[in-house]
Amino acid sequence: MPSYPLSVAVVCMSNMNRSMEAHRILRRKGFRVQVVYDFSTTYEEMRKDLARRDRERYNNNGILHILGRNERIKPRPERFQECRDRFDVIFTCEESVYDRVVEELWVREQETCQPVHVINVDMDDNAEDATLGAFIICELCERLQQADDLEDSLVEVLLAAERKTGKSFLHTVCFY
């Protein structure tokens, strides 16, 4: 089992729903997680502006709830390309974002040759799928945290999750 908490990033296209739901659940479970992908407008400013424009409409479609959740997690969206933090695992929420993250990591200058595992947990961008996907990501993190060796255990953990969920996961190892 790693002697340090697993360092995790979760990336989605808009940094609004899927990655933020995963962030919320992982943070509750004690994982050190960042959600990244400047969006200079804060979630609070977005929420207040939409409430001023048409509170009933944005309440009914769930946007004000999502923005309220997001502002309790962090002030504003972040952009993965601007993040230079190191992670053990980076989860993406759709294949096109996975491709962008892998491409970004490959073009960065390698400094430490520290491996980072990029895993795609594909999910639709709606509240229900975001929650289900967040629980899958959380379970993967818990299993990886319990593993004696992340590198040796990762493929086995992913295969077990694929059997359990019926989903397949893209996985690539990149280096910092």
Tell me the domains of the chain and their CATH numbers. Answer: 8-14+79-175 (3.40.50.2300), 20-73 (no CATH)
Paired tokens of 64: 């004000």
Nearest to 151 by CA among 110, 101, 117: 117
Q: What does the pLDDT read at residue 142?
A: 96
**75 Cβ contact list (under 8 Å, min separation 6):** 42, 43, 44
* pLDDT higher than threshold 60 for residue 73: yes
Question: pTM of the entire structure?
Answer: 0.90
Written in H, E and C, the secondary structure of 98-159 is: HHHHHHHHHHCCCCCCCEEEEEECCCCCCHHHHHHHHHHHHHHHHHHHHCCCHHHHHHHHHH
Rounded to whole angstroms, the Cα distance separating 14 from 7 reads 22
Give pLDDT tens digits for 121-160: 999 999 999 999 999 999 999 999 999 999 999 999 999 9
Q: What does the pLDDT read at residue 2?
A: 56
Paired tokens of 66: 């999502």
Residues paired with 34 in a beta bridge: 9
Crossing angle between the packed helical segments 63-73 and 18-28, to the nearest 10 degrees: 50
Give pLDDT tens digits for 41-69: 899 999 999 999 899 999 999 999 999 99
